[in-house]
A and B are shown apart, each in its own frame.
Chain A
């Protein structure tokens, strides 16, 4: 992928993410036996928020909201432009750190609790992503996304357990049930994003769409050079995580971290060891 295509793709990634989000809302509504909003609903929300008056708690808090958007955007750009996988993960962590710092900087207890839980989210799923970067390196021999995308191997064949683990942690990165403790609409009403309003909430809202693209691109990498398989994997992952979202209750943060550390990460490590054994 050339540098400019990547740039344009990144620029339009909110649009793609918005469509994914709109589609998700429809799919979710249909799974619940409702009609659901129109496909363009996220964009209606987006334009409405443009016009809302923004109430700023203090400028640092608002700035952190914007930085969250920029950080996620940059992480995605690193991925799309074929950069280093580890750097993309690093930027993603950094962008979440902005959100966490913003959440801690206000007095609202929901925001503080949400920020703490956001940290626990990172503790839970980020090791899995770092490990999968390592696993992709073992299979394809490169950390470069462009290298992985042109690799002859299909990592999915070597990393089935890894793929399963990443699939199950998708709800954690996208904050969907069962791992939506950081957002937990019914407990802490959105967590770190509670105090944002107007244009600043819009930034946080859009950053979440970009995270959709980021997460699904990660899934795409598991198909390596086989792009059709990648597209199929994305569609499968999309429906799978919607189904998971719809048939589970929210677990608490202890169960979430325990699930990631006692089940998913060991799964991934077993896969990693098998590969290492097989290679040697």
Chain B
């Protein structure tokens, strides 16, 4: 031992559902150097949004940037468009968007948590987490009509209303989900082997988080108080009982705990939304042509999502710029790996919940 081994991690790897490529130089399994290649899934969506699709269609295209946070991308785009064109969205539509976006966050967080357990070799916990995640998928399917790509939000409102029958089933399922989420939180917090493995592994300190502009659950796990839901009013989060979850520590363990706690908060918000859902229209027509520029920040499950759009009174926008959370977290991941054990790499990568199809677009 002691000789340098080059370990490629990705682009095809069983621990990764998506292609990112890290090339590690290791000595005794300690990483001394790392290169990262994120471009495997670059498709050119930004270009297509500014040349091929009309501004009313772009919302459905950007949803295909990422299947995990599809609603966030659509929300980012439609919020920017509505603000640009001065459209007043009905309250009921906002609440429905909020409901779907929180359910989406739950499913994405559960996916990330389960996946981290899987790459830590804890297959049973992965299975249990995914089993409870199916509840959310069923709820989303009931609500929007599809499991993954919902296309729920559209410029001016939402595409599908919540009927009383669906609401009844949602409440039943939400109750079951709440129990399970509490149980999961308990496991992720107190399981001995997880704590042994993850506490103090892959630590992002608060200074590091600030310096490297970390976003999302990794930042909040490091103690950095940043959440776009509190910093940007794109949906009425204040009214439905949003709380910011901030922990100290910044290791894989805390990142997962932040997710588990946020899932609980999201469930609470879903209850409040269902209880206080206002009556009214779900959609207003959007007329006219976009002119000028607008940018919004959205809290996607992985962190801050930034949309910049610019139009010049044409059916096709001039520029759509998407800055996704993983894109902002790649630099800190690269810093983090140097000096780490190779055995900890998969769990660290997954604990950032990287979404490469977002990153490369």
Contacts and interface: CB of A to CB of B under 8 A. Distances in A.
Interface stretch (B91-99, B119-127, B152-160, B211-219): B119-127
Interface stretch (B140-148, B220-228, B341-349): B341-349
Interface residues of B, number: 34
A186 interface: yes
Contacts of A34: 127
Interface string B323-356: 0000000000000000001111110000000000
Among A34, A248, A255, the one with the most B-chain Cβ atoms within 10 Å of its Cβ is A248
Given A33-B131, A113-B5, A116-B1, A187 B124 contact: no
Nearest to A176: B121
Interface stretch (A84-92, A125-133, A138-146, A177-185): A177-185
A250 interface: yes
B5 A178 contact: no
A252 interface: yes
Given A33-B128, A109-B5, A252 B118 contact: no
Chain B contact surface mostly? helix
A74 interface: no
Interface stretch (B192-200, B234-242, B312-320): B192-200
B195 to A, nearest CB: 9
B7 A248 contact: no
A112 interface: yes
Interface string A7-35: 00000000000000000000010011110
Interface in A238-260: 246-253, 255
A189 interface: yes
Contacts of B191: 249
Contact of A32 (B124, B193, B194, B345): B124
A210 B121 CA distance: 23
A113 B194 CA distance: 23
Contact of A246 (B123, B196, B198): B123
Contacts of B342: 113, 187
Contact of B120 (A33, A116, A247, A250): A250
Among A28, A32, A33, the one with the most B-chain Cβ atoms within 10 Å of its Cβ is A32
Interface of B: 1, 5-8, 13-15, 26, 29, 117-125, 127-128, 131, 191, 193-194, 196-198, 341-346
Interface of A: 28, 31-34, 109-110, 112-113, 116, 177-178, 180-181, 184-187, 189, 246-253, 255
